[in-house]
Amino acid sequence: MAKSSVPRRVWSARRGLGRAAVASATSRLRPMDPAGAVILITGGSSGIGAATARRFVRDGATVVLVARDEQRLTEAGEALVAEFDAVDRVAWWAGDVTDEDRIREIVAAAAERYGRIDVLINNAGRSIRRGATYAVERTHDYRRTIEANYLGAVTCTLAVLPGMIERRHGRIVNVSSISTQMYSPRYSAYVASKAALDAFGEVLAGEVATRGITVTSVKVPLTKTPMIEPSRRVQPGPALTPAQAAKLVARAVRYGQPTVSTPAGRVGRYMTETFPRWSRFTRQVEYLAFPESAAAVPRTDRA
């Protein structure tokens, strides 16, 4: 009975599977127009989130911003309203993505005001640059990072998912990192949290494809935001502007492909998978070439 029900269930879902196959094959030919869409962006008060919001308001979307710092969030929202004369297309609510009750309140309020949420951009997060050997008594570093970067995004996703399923349409965009393609040393807490989010997104994508919902991981390279400035002081390197990173996020919203990456990220992934031992060796060289962040080293170890 159980065995015979499997093909029966697949057969009953054939129309949804067909739509999903067609949507996947033609995503480049039929991009989503953000004009008129309702887009919720977490971490929207600065950096990539604020730049992404500006891009979409400019393109005619309605944007809902969420961030912890109410003052900075209000400043970001008011700046958008003033620049684009978009008082009816910009809203903001202060909230922490790790607070499930608050996130559900915000999603409900946004849906009540605008009727729906078409796109969720999970952008809020935190980064910690500390080698694991200096974190042996700091498991809270990993816990905090997982809570913000992974569980917070999961909370937001689960809050918007019922509405998307009901309308049989939606985009979920997870702002991940190029570090999940090449495993940067000293970022074990950060990379692991983003890798967990990527895995969640892949599993979810396989469950909701027939419901008209896409899930995209955006492998953003190092970006000039307040979050990474302490790291750049001890390990300088090229970085995108927030506007450049926002362009990658916009591509994810328009086309809904599984992954948005850069040439550097794709090369890094290829090298990691094809030459794993050599990749580990080069990461060891990188680890030895740059110092630990001052805040990461116990005072007794500082010379």
Kindly list the catalytic residues: 190
Nearest to 43 by CA among 124, 109, 145, 139: 124
Q: CA-CA distance, 153 to 149, in Å (whole number)?
A: 6
Q: Which amino acid is at 60?
A: G
φ and ψ of 34, to 5 deg: -70, -15
Contacts of 175 (CB under 8 A, 6+ apart): 48, 121, 122, 123, 125, 218, 220, 249
Task: Dig out the tokens for 78 from the structure.
Answer: 């008011």
CB 118 within 8 A of CB 107: no
Q: Which amino acid is at 214?
A: T
Tell how far CA 102 is from the center of its chain.
19
